Amino acid sequence: MIRRRTIRCGMALAALAWLPVACSGGERSDAPDLEAAPSEAAPSDAAPSSVELLDAAERGDVAAAVAALDAGAELERRDTAGRTALLLAVTGDHVAVARELVARGADPDAVDDRHDTPWLVTGVTGSVAMAEVLLAAEPDLTIRNRFGGISIIPASERGHVDYVRWVTEHTDIDVNHVNGLGWTALLEAVILGDGGARHQEIVRILLGAGADPKLPDGEGVTALQHAEARGFTAMAAILRTG
C-alpha cells in the first residue's frame, strides 16, 4: 500500500522551502535546508581577516574575499554553524567567489554541522555553473547529507533539469543511490515532484543514465506504481517504456 501521508508531507515541506519540520509519518525531506541556518558570526577566536572572508563569501563580494585572503584569512575557517567560506558562497550561488576559493585550494567536501558540503548544496540550488567550479576540485560524490542522500536526489525532487542532465553526463554519480527514506533520485522525482514537464524530463534523463525503474521504495512500491497512484499519466507512460 502506498503511504499517501508521506507524499502529502513531502509536498508540504517543499512548499515551505524545506523547513526542518518532521513529517507526520516521522520522515523528513532529503534536501539540505538552506534556510535553517541564518548568517552567524565566526568563532570569537577567529582573526579579523577570517571573519571578513566569511562575510565576503556570504555576500558574494569577490574583491573583499580576495583582500581577506591576501591579509591571511584562514581558508577553512568555519562560522558557528560549521560552514566554511566556500559553503557560504555555494549556498548563495556566488560563483565568482567560489571560483577564487577553489583556486586557492578550498575543500569541496568540508562538512558543516548539518552534514552539508559545498558539493551537496549544488543539488539543492541546481546551479550547474557552481557544480562546474566545484568539480575541478574533485569533490567526493559519495558523501551523504543528513538524510543519507547525495546531490542528485534533492536535485531530482526539486526539478533541476539542467543540473540532473549535467551531473549524469559529467560525473559518475550513482543514479541508483538509495537514501535514508529508501528512495532513489527516480523515486524522489515521482514521489515529491509535481508530475509536470520538468519532472517528466528528469525521469527521462535518469532512465537514460541507468536508473533502475524496478527499484522499489522501503515499502516495496516502485516509481511506476507511485506515478499511477498520483495520476501522473505522462510520467507513468515514460516509466513503462523506460
Give the C-alpha separation, 169 to 166, whole Å.
5
Domains belonging to the chain, first-starting first, are 47-140 (1.25.40.20), 141-242 (1.25.40.20)
Give the C-alpha separation, 155 to 161, whole Å.
8
Lowest mean pLDDT among 23-27, 32-36, 52-56: 23-27
Residue 178 is predicted with a pLDDT of 98
Lowest mean pLDDT among 35-39, 161-165, 225-229: 35-39
Residue keyed to cell 575557517: 77
User: Which grid cell sits at 200?
Assistant: 517528466
DSSP symbol at 2: -
226 class by beta-carbon count within 10 Å (0-12 exposed, 13-18 middle, 19+ buried): buried
The structure's pTM equals: 0.83
Give the C-alpha separation, 183 to 241, whole Å.
21
